[in-house]
Structure 1
Amino acid sequence: MAAQLLVKLENVNKFYPKLTSSRERLQALWAVLRGKGEYARHPVLQNISLEVYQGETLGIIGENGAGKSTLLKHIAGVVKPSSGKVRVTGRIGALLELGAGFHPEYTGRENLQLSGALMGMGDAELQDKLAGIIEFADIGAYIDEPIKHYSSGMVVRLGFALITASRPDLLITDEVLAVGDESFQKKCTHWMEDYLGNGGTLLLCSHSMFHVQKLCQKACWIKEGRMVSYGEAFQVTQEYLAYHEEKSRQEVRPQTALSAAAYQVKDLWLQGEKEGGLAVIPMGEELKVRGEVYSPDDRTPTVAVGIMRINGAEIYGFTSDVDGVVLKRQQPTRFRFALTFPRLALLPGRYKLCAHAMDPEGMRLFDVVEREFQVVGRTRELGVCHLAHEWQENLP
């Protein structure tokens, strides 16, 4: 039997009026009074379309201010789109903001009764589950204190405890669980695993790519209100991480023209490199490098090779003279080198290989040429490289 469609967004757009000046505020007010949208607007979401079926898990990722929370609020029914359609079926459990839906003057118990009723729980159902909700929240005597006296963590406990009792068809979370203490996070994790294991549907907004890869089947990357990528979670998160590495790359100083008396890297080639494109290397496979160095005095130069992340973090480097390698003279003043990384230990991500032309003594650096490449593959290991390791089953 086909899975039920729980969420469908079709070309959803959301605009907020610009109110930074008196003129813009007056324009917005006049447009509202006339019933027309002729005012300065700031786009928050633009042409968002997606579908979520029962049993699926979707991660929403993006930078702060990208529109992730606004997107979840549309699905939760808190916000209406400026244009486009949002269709949601089934019972929704939403944890979007701390204290959302709780009255600060009411006690925790009173807020549970009020919020439970708003979620569609009848009096009999709520009374039957109230003791379990309070036990899950585990806030002690504070359950009969006004919410305004609660810490942020206590508010999260109460809100999530209510969600566990309602067993929604669709659970929406906006990373609010990060403020809970260690024991509460473990309790929530166990509940989440049980919820998903029994066919629950999850929309998770998170800055943790590890959690998105671990919990979600699909992911949606939002940037400046637009959908950049939507599909299998691992692929989308890898694209997002590569984007951030590129963004945080250190600025490269402009390269000055080299004199004819300088040693120079004339050619550098990486396996898998297409003309004008990026070399793509599967994780664990070999990486071949070829290059040519110009020597102005026809003496055998030294070449230094380094690998770093795209953001400039150094990983590994070596030189031909330290390894006892002599570059081969192809013709006067031209020397070639070739090397292979037989089983590339780098984890998936964007990198660059740098080749430096040095004097024969390996003391002075004259020139550097860089080639970017991407390592692809599926793994949940952390860091930049794989280190061989063995688990011991029989402990001494």
Structure 2
Amino acid sequence: MNTVRNEATVATGGADLLAVARDLGKSYPKVFRRRDRLRALGKLLVGIDDLDSVPVLRGVNLDVLRGESLGLIGENGAGKSTLLKLLTGVLTPTTGSVEVRGRVGALLELGAGFHPEYTGRDNVAMSAALYGLAADELREKLPQIIEFADIGRYVDEPVKHYSSGMVVRLGFAIVAALRPDLLITDEVLAVGDESFQKKCVRWMEDYLAHGGTLILVSHSMYHIQKLCRHALWLRQGEVAAAGDVFEVTQAYLAYHERKSVAAPDRGIIAAQGVEFHLLGLAANDLEQETPVFLNQGDTLRLTARVRSRDGRPPTVAFGIARVDGTAVYGVSSEMDGIAPQRLDAHTWVAEIVFDDLTLLPGAYTVKAHPMDTEGVRLFDTIERGIVVRGSTREFGLVRLHHRWNDAPAQVMAQNGADSASSSSS
């Protein structure tokens, strides 16, 4: 899924859409070296638009409704700030289109929009003018802005003397007073002391409760889950996952859990000429690093391809574990008396299918291991992530089929009567 949407979009005919992006992309020309810059300049001078470029954002589709809250997550360099700059008009897209309606309040790069030589009070006046506030409106809101920023006498000092936390305080205070239709923030909660962060969170919660619309970038999954109903995960400039905030953030955290575990180098294993090594592992035909999403009760199909150095048939083991390493289930082809299928002289494939998946909602890791024909020695491992979606109040890892006795008291009474009768006889 690469689009954040809301069903109300259809019902309203798009009337409540504040931000719309279609196939949005951004690329920058390769100008790392002097000759690259000269080549790019020469092409522009002769009217050639086909510059050698590096894409930083590709194929992003986005619908943000009025009153919605969207969290943008991803590693550094994933394209989050670039997407925000496209939404706010700071950058123009290379491909696709973007449209934002209503008054936008943006807190992007630290101090962006502030003149370092002007005082805080002067910068407030300049920002208010850019937002279209009249002089009398500014006079009315100025005490509120100064109180919210809480930077004391520094409000009349040049901004170049401010700490990073004071700059964010002033910027957020301006936005808080203006209450824009759409608020776009980039890591605003990562700067400043804890008391100011709490003040910002309380203000955002009130802003959303009164119909405000928020796009929030943060590396804190706590703040994303607390303030946002939907999330979009960017990975290497593309949408890795989008949708419900808890599903997307759980998938993102599971991805980082797997990254923190040292994975075997596939090239080194192949070069070592071990007896058996894995060529690939697919979950429901998807061979990818990002998690595969499933619903409770869906079918999970795992397919492993194994390279056999001597052409002997391998034993293939499959396992499922929680992302914290807790084992859930494991089985091998040798245990069930199944032989992998030969694809060619040195390649074998094994596939296992879990119908009506009984895993409870959460993030899991599936694993494949090639073993020798006798099922004694293990040679290699590949892991893939899956996320099981669903709503339940049950505990544990799996759903066990069960039933409730609707008349236990009568059964106990009957058993007691039978016992008494046996004793008297």
Q: Same fold (TM over 0.5)?
A: yes
| 1:147 shift after superposition | 0.3
Residue 131 of structure 1 aligns with an amino acid whose one-letter code is P
Q: 2:226 aligns with which of 214, 223, 227?
A: 214
Structure 1 or 2: larger helix share? 2
Task: Describe the shift of the 1:368–1:148 C-alpha distance in structure 2 as closer, same or farther (beyond 3 A).
Answer: same
- Percent of matched pairs sharing the same residue: 51
**How far did 1:279 drift?**
12
User: Equivalents in 2 of 1:246, 1:18: separation in Å?
Assistant: 33
Q: CA–CA distance in 2 between the matches of 1:280 and 1:51?
A: 24
CA contact (8 A) 1:97 1:176 kept: no
1:65 lines up with 2:65 in the alignment: no
Cα-to-partner distance string for 1:40-96 (whole Å, 9 max, x where unaligned):
111112122211110111111222111110000111111111232211110101011
Q: In the TM superposition, what is the alpha-carbon distance from 1:168 to its structure 2 partner? A: 0.3
Matched, 1:100 2:118: no
CA distance in 1, matches of 2:46, 2:134: 42
Q: Which runs of 5+ in 1 are unaligned?
A: 259-272, 284-305, 318-328, 332-343, 358-364, 386-396
What amino acid does structure 1 have at the position aligned with 2:20?
K
Q: 1:39 to 1:368 in 2, by over 3 A?
A: closer
Change (3 A) 1:103 1:316: same
SS at match of 1:75: helix
- Shift of the alpha carbon at 1:14? 1.2
1:83 aligns with 2:61: no
Amino acid at match of 2:197: Q
The one of 348, 351, 358 equivalent to 2:362 is 348
1:290-326 residue CA offsets vs partner (Å, 9 max, x unmatched): xxxxxxxxxxxxxxxx98655xx65579xxxxxxxxx
* Residue equivalent to 2:150: 138
* Offset at residue 20 of structure 1 (A): 1.5
Q: CA RMSD in A?
A: 4.1
Establish whether residue 19 from structure 1 lines up as the match of residue 31 from structure 2. Answer: yes
Q: Give 2:101's aligned amino acid.
A: T
Instruction: From 51, 75, 80, give the equivalent of 1:39.
Output: 51
User: How has the CA–CA distance of structure 1 residues 82 and 282 changed in structure 2, closer, same or farther, with 3 Å as cutoff?
Assistant: closer
| SS, match of residue 365 in structure 2 | strand
Q: 130, 143, 149: which is aligned to 1:118?
A: 130
Q: Give 2:175's aligned residue.
A: 163
State the shift of 1:139 in Å: 0.4
- Secondary structure at 2:263 match in 1: coil
**Partner AA of 2:225 in structure 1:** Q
How many pairs are equivalent?
323
What do the CA deviations read for 1:324-352 (whole angstroms, capped 9, x no partner)?
A: xxxxx999xxxxxxxxxxxx999822235
**2:360–2:388: 8 Å Cα contact kept in structure 1?**
no
Residues 222/354 of structure 1: CA separation in 2 closer, same or farther (3 Å cut): closer
Partner in structure 1 of residue 407 of structure 2: none
The equivalent residue for 2:4 is none
Give structure 2 stretches of 5+ with no counterpart. 1-10, 277-282, 298-318, 329-334, 338-357, 398-425
Residues 89, 139 of structure 1: CA spacing in aligned structure 2 closer, same or farther, 3 A cutoff?
Answer: same
Aligned to 2:308: none
On the 8 A contact 1:16/1:42 being kept in 2, the answer is yes
After superposition, where does 1:1-396 map in structure 2 within 5 Å? 2=12, 4-252=16-264, 310=323, 314-315=325-326, 348-351=362-365, 374=386, 376-377=388-389
| 1:247/1:124 CA distance change after superposition, 3 Å | same
Distance 1:346 1:68 in 2: 32
- Indicate conservation of the 8 Å contact 2:321/2:364, yes or no: no
Deviations 1:344-379 (A, max 9, x none): 999822235899x9xxxxxxx965998978563569
CA distance in 1, matches of 2:139, 2:189: 26
Tell me, what secondary structure is at the counterpart of 2:128? helix
Kindly state the Cα deviation for residue 256 of structure 1 after the two structures are TM-superposed. 6.2
Please give the secondary structure, in 2, of the residue aligned with 1:74.
helix
Whole-angstrom CA distance in 2 between matches of 1:330 and 1:282: 25
- Look up the SS of the partner of 2:256 in the other structure: helix
State the distance in 1 between where 2:385 and 2:235 align.
24
Tell me the SS of whatever aligns to 1:14.
Answer: strand
Which moves more between the two structures, 192-201 or 215-224? 215-224
